[in-house]
Structure 1
Amino acid sequence: MKNVAFQACLLLMVLSAAAQQKPHYTQYILNQYIINPALTGIENYTDIKVSHRHQWAGLDGAPVTTYFTIQGPIGKQDYRTTATSFEVPGENPRGHRYWEDYTAAQPHHGIGLQVIQDATGPLSNFSAYGTYAYHVGLSPRTSIAAGFGAGISRYSLKSYELDFGNTTVDPAVYSAGIVNKTKFDMNAGLYLYSADFFLGISALQIVPSKLNFSDSKITAQTGQTVPHLFFTGGYRFLLNDQFNLLPSVMVKYINPLPLQVETNVKLQYNDLLWVGASYRYKDSFGAMMGFNIFNKFNVGYSYDNTTTALGTYARGTHEIVLGIILGNKYADGCPRNIW
């Protein structure tokens, strides 16, 4: 009975035009590119990320999100020539001297690809976007980037999963098989960044589309995809030559829902490992940790515990992010511009 009730709630979320239609990312700070195409090509190397998120583990039909991203620069040149351009034995490669010598990005382009699979109960959404961005320096230490993405979103409804046994549901609903709808989609963003701070604004799903699963068999109220606005900001505090403290915030706006606020803080040791915490207002709090391997691989893991009534039944939310760095000629461990 518990699973039936939960699936019924998920169905209401699916049919609601006002429900959030894009997934949560606890470790957005590790891959801001997933929510803002302006970060395409921001670093000196090609950045690959693979992530898997299992929300509300232990509940049938709970949200599961998996993504793959790859993005890198075109024509970017980095003219670092100081002693801190490369790691000096016994010295933190991301210590005070490194950030004192930080310079704005040279004008360059970036291209990338995002592939996202998001499933909640009987509804799933497969999205794929090609992205482009252009970066230019505004001052000796501050840069700005503008980017956009274009692609498709394919929504699938496994209508046969809407059969809740003794619960009254029209058989015509759950006998329609798998119903698919493919829609054109776009996203866009701006990103202002420096050695000490970043500010971003982006809009996902900016081409509203009517969405229904009637397929001449199901008669239900027509829904609609809605734009999702993201505002992000963060600041870097150099505590000493070994530790950086990196607080950040993300505000989401999805009409007609109220603003959603998420805070995030990382404590980074040298160029090697970090720990952190996050809080999503009136929803959850979490712990995070990660490390870098030979300046070519990085791993991040987070665990969220919901503060809502679902916490009675769920066993928390797990999210893992795996990164691969290609063409890392400056041997960067942690990103220079994405924190």
Structure 2
Amino acid sequence: MAQHGVSYNQFGQLRNSFNSSLSTMDQGGSFAALGRSQWTGVDGAPKSVWVSGHGMVKNLGLAIGGDFKHASLGVVRENEITAYAAKAVQLGENEYLSLSMGGGLLFYEGNYRQLDDQDPAFWEDVRGTAGVLSVSTSYYQKDRFYVGVSMPRFSLKRNTDREYEFRDVIYVTGGMLIRLDDTFKLRPSFLVSHMQEMSPRYDINAMMFVGPKIGLGMGVQNQGDLSGLMQLNFGNFGIGYSYQFSVNGHTLNQKISTNTHEVGFRYRIGGIGLL
């Protein structure tokens, strides 16, 4: 059984997590954390946490950062730790081309004996470690728009015999900030996520900001789900929440919800930007 990797609704606010080359947009450094919980009420339902951050080495013009990802589904757990370096080249007055490369380790385990210790098919638990690489690139104009392509996890060695598998993922992401007047600004953004051996997922959302502190929006994805988005900014801090639901969703057990909750946190030195 597989879920669609680490696709989240708050990709517009937490852009660096999906494309580390975009960390060069934050010259002072930043930190972000994002948690996702699906299928509330289901034992062993998918849960994931993603933490990322970076700092700048100004004399070299490098952004040095890292990511930690945890995902669980049933008796399967995966933890991933990676580090990266990113550098941007200025193409014009406010145009940049950025590249990021990195690598790390993936730790996975499947405690299958918990399913049925009387069935020989589940007598063997799975433990393993694999090396991973990451590469990403982006083009942007600060405070105006960005677009990028990333492969945040390219596995060097994977055990393909497991019942559950997080496959390699490719992201294509973009966003822009549209000034409507002195008070209102609109931030449309998109994320295309493609997991190995699965059909692509397309996410589009739009966030309307009232001043610099409050943002409300909606998102839609090609699998039919909708999401409501909220963002609150306080100086260097930003807090986001999203609620994802299916307009056609229903369940026989009313105690079980197929809806998804996300909570995000971001800290950015120099103040939280809207893009």
Normalising by structure 2, report the TM-score.
0.89
| RMSD between superposed Cα atoms in Å | 2.4
Could you tell me which of 239, 247, 257 is aligned with 1:299?
Answer: 239
Give the gaps of 5 or more residues in structure 2: none
Report the Cα distance in structure 1 between the residues aligned to 2:260 and 2:163, rounded to whole angstroms: 31
Correspondence for 1:186: 133
Could you tell me which of 50, 59, 64 is aligned with 1:67?
Answer: 50
Q: 1:147-226 residue pairs with structure 2 within 5 A?
A: 147-163=100-116, 171-176=119-124, 178-194=125-141, 195-211=143-159, 226=167
Secondary structure of 1:247 counterpart: strand
Deviates more, 1:186-195 or 1:222-231: 222-231
Instruction: Indicate whether 1:285 and 2:268 are aligned.
Output: no
Residues 1:311 and 1:229: Cα distance change in structure 2 (over 3 Å):
farther
Greater fraction of residues in helix? 1
Contact 1:284-1:304 within 8 A present in 2 as well:
yes
Report the Cα distance in structure 1 between the residues aligned to 2:40 and 2:224, rounded to whole angstroms: 15
- Give the Å deviation of 1:222: 8.4
Report the Cα distance in structure 1 between the residues aligned to 2:273 and 2:97, rounded to whole angstroms: 20
- Give the Å deviation of 1:303: 0.6
Give the gaps of 5 or more residues in structure 1: 1-12, 77-106, 164-168, 213-219
**Aligned partner letter, 1:180:** R
Correspondence for 2:273: 334
Residues 1:269 and 1:311: Cα distance change in structure 2 (over 3 Å):
farther
**Aligned partner letter, 1:119:** S
Correspondence for 2:30: 47
Residues 1:111 and 1:221: Cα distance change in structure 2 (over 3 Å):
closer
Secondary structure of 2:45 counterpart: coil
Report the Cα distance in structure 1 between the residues aligned to 2:95 and 2:251, rounded to whole angstroms: 43
- Give the Å deviation of 1:230: 1.1
Greater fraction of residues in strand? 2
- How many percent identity over aligned positions? 20
Instruction: Indicate whether 1:325 and 2:268 are aligned.
Output: yes
Secondary structure of 1:160 counterpart: helix
Report the Cα distance in structure 2 between the residues aligned to 1:162 and 1:239, rounded to whole angstroms: 55
- Give the Å deviation of 1:255: 3.6
Larger radius of gyration: 1
Report the Cα distance in structure 2 between the residues aligned to 1:302 and 1:140, rounded to whole angstroms: 36
Q: Aligned pairs, how many?
A: 271
Normalising by structure 1, report the TM-score.
0.73
